């Protein structure tokens, strides 16, 4: 779609005909220390994954292995302590500040025969480390409502988003620019050169690619933004360049139709276009992937239906652990195989309407078929990943409770269960997976 290639700059110029609506955030600065915050997160995480066909516990390409190369059961239990400090900005026309973080992960239970869930790094002896830690940060400056950062940070762009799906968050190293000078328009751009994986303490890891093999690009650049047209409709556009690998474009439209005070209908459309570029480090790529989801909410109940389609001879792939803003990306599988189409049905119950605020339940089912990975570039990073007739299905159950008041306010308990079944051509295997996550956030400053 040609519209996908509009730059965020063009969008900003169009929106620039409207009146500037924000007062300068920098002019309201109270100071480096006066506006600072310090937050602490304790996270206790139990994870087991049982490969019913003997599968191995790795994500992405490493999960797509022939059955005779897969083995085992993986189980780990760990505790993470994460501190996040964000300074304010010094006063003046241009404000200066700094952000910092410190993470500590502690093994509570695991072993050489059960490790590999991604909660803990694995030592040279093949056993999980007893503990691991890291620290980092970024410097920042602000002019009006525009902020430039350099250093190690978490990112949230749909073409480059770090993940917090295991014990400690991923981070990336580089530059990030964000701007909110115009009402309802948020722009951002980034240039990143290194990554810190979820089970690593190295801030100079290669950029994370999820499904491809071969050499990876050394830089990731993107620009984009989101615009709220009104209270019901918002759109976003992004463009990204993964050095010598691909150019990727993303678009989203989200619309909510209010029906009554307790009823609404939401539509969410996402699309990615990915094409090889430069040295084509992952081979030839021409991939268009989209999803459309509709959610009907009535009181405490929400019902979701979604359709997702991959048009291309390679899987939809992405840089960064959470850079997939598609409706059918689930707890275990992304349903992103070459030429795959998938269907999702889901139900969510919010128990606040029944006198138990903070308690929610979710059940969802996804079925995918028509996977054919046999036409991928034989010299590329996706060769031999999947066969000609891949099919699979996944069921997710999610129960979460957040304490609403008292000394333990915001303490949360979450249980997540996934069941995934697949044929050999799909190649992710048959797994039962259970996660129990307890989080306790504290605001120190």
**Active-site amino acid positions:** 191, 244, 323
Distance CA(367)–CA(391), nearest Å, equals 8
Element (H, E) at 295: strand 286-298
Terminus-to-terminus CA distance in the chain, angstroms?
A: 47
Q: Which of 437, 370, 441, 428 is nearest to 59 (CA)?
A: 428
Strand-pairing partners, residue 373, are none
Distance CA(184)–CA(22), nearest Å, equals 10
Distance CA(369)–CA(98), nearest Å, equals 48
Residues 6+ away with beta carbon under 8 Å from 78: 44, 45, 105, 106, 107, 108, 110, 119, 120, 167
| SS3 at position 13 | helix
Distance CA(309)–CA(115), nearest Å, equals 34
Strand-pairing partners, residue 363, are 347, 397
In degrees and rounded to multiples of 5, residue 35 shows phi and psi of -100, 15
Distance CA(131)–CA(110), nearest Å, equals 12
Give the C-alpha distances (Å, rounded to integers) separating 434 from 54, 56, 62, 361, 431: 17, 15, 20, 15, 10
* Residue-wise DSSP of 348-375: EEEGGGGT-TTEEEEEEEEEEEEE--TT
Quickly tell me which residue has 């268009």 as its tokens: 288
């Amino acid at each position: 779609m040609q519209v996908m290639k509009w730059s965020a700059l063009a969008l900003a110029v169009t929106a620039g005909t409207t009146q500037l609506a924000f007062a300068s955030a920098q002019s309201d600065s109270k100071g480096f220390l006066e506006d600072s915050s310090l937050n602490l997160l304790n996270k206790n995480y139990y994870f087991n994954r049982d490969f019913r066909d003997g599968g191995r516990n790795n994500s992405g390409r490493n999960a797509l292995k022939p059955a005779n190369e897969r083995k085992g059961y993986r189980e780990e239990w760990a505790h993470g302590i994460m501190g996040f400090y964000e300074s304010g900005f010094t006063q003046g026309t241009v404000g200066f500040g700094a952000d910092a973080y410190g993470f500590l992960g502690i093994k509570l239970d695991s072993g050489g025969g059960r490790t590999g869930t991604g909660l803990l790094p694995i030592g040279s002896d093949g056993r999980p480390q007893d503990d691991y830690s890291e620290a980092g940060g970024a410097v920042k400056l602000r002019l009006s409502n525009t902020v430039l950062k350099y250093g190690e940070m978490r990112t949230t762009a749909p073409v480059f988003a770090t993940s917090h799906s295991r014990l400690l968050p991923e981070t990336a190293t580089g530059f990030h620019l964000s701007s909110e000078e115009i009402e309802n328009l948020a722009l951002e751009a980034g240039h990143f050169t290194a990554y810190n994986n979820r089970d690593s303490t190295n801030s100079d890891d290669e950029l994370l690619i999820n499904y491809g093999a071969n050499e990876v690009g050394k830089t990731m650049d993107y620009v984009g933004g989101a615009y709220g047209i009104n209270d019901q409709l918002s759109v976003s556009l992004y463009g990204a360049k993964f050095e010598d690998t691909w150019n990727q474009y993303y678009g989203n439209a989200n619309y909510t139709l209010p029906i009554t005070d307790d009823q609404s209908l939401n539509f969410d459309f996402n699309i990615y276009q990915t094409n090889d570029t430069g040295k084509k480090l992952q081979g030839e790529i021409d991939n268009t992937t989209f999803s459309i989801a509709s959610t009907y909410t009535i009181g405490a109940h929400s019902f979701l239906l979604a359709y997702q389609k991959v048009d291309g001879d390679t899987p939809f792939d992405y840089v960064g652990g959470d850079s997939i803003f598609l409706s059918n990306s689930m707890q275990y599988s992304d349903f992103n195989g070459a030429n795959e189409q998938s269907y999702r049905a889901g139900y969510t119950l919010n128990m606040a309407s029944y006198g138990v605020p903070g308690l929610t339940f979710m059940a969802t089912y996804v079925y995918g078929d028509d996977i054919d990975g046999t036409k991928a570039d034989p010299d590329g990073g996706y060769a031999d990943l999947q066969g000609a007739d891949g099919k699979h299905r996944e069921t997710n159950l999610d129960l979460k409770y957040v304490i609403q008041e008292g000394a333990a306010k915001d303490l949360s308990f979450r249980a997540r269960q996934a069941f995934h079944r697949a044929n050999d051509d799909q190649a992710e295997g048959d797994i039962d997976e259970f996660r129990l996550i307890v989080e306790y956030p504290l605001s120190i400053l």
